[in-house]
Amino acid sequence: MRLGEGSFGAGSATIAQFAEHVRIVRNALAEAGRDNATLPTAKRVCIGIDDDVTRGGERMAAAMNDLYGLLRIEGARGDGGVGPAGHLRAGASRGSGRRAPS
């Protein structure tokens, strides 16, 4: 990690796997004498929005299976922040802090 300018977690990684990847990257940064706060860390997260949690989960599972052959879905509304919030707790940076237009 002498030259890296950012880290991007695999979209297929679970939150636990992503947290382990972040730990590995941060250890490599420390070994290179770099401050981990200077390296942005991202994680691809697919989000589906539906008023019905079950239907939304089924639609996301079908879409992910069609695209990637994945059948695992993590997180849903009311899950206590397992989804995107869990990725932030696992080490994803908030990036530039810019928000999408409302």
pLDDT of the residue at 101? 36
In 2-102, where does DSSP find H-type helix? 15-31, 53-68, 84-90
- Distances from the Cα of 48 to the Cα of 41, 79, 82, angstroms: 22, 14, 14
pTM of the prediction? 0.62
Tell me what percent of the residues of the chain surpass a pLDDT of 90.
Answer: 6
pLDDT of the residue at 81? 47
pLDDT tens-digit readout, 56-88: 888 888 887 887 776 556 655 545 445 566 666
- Rounded to whole angstroms, the maximal C-alpha distance in the chain is 48
Three-class secondary structure of residue 25 per DSSP: helix
DSSP state of 100: -
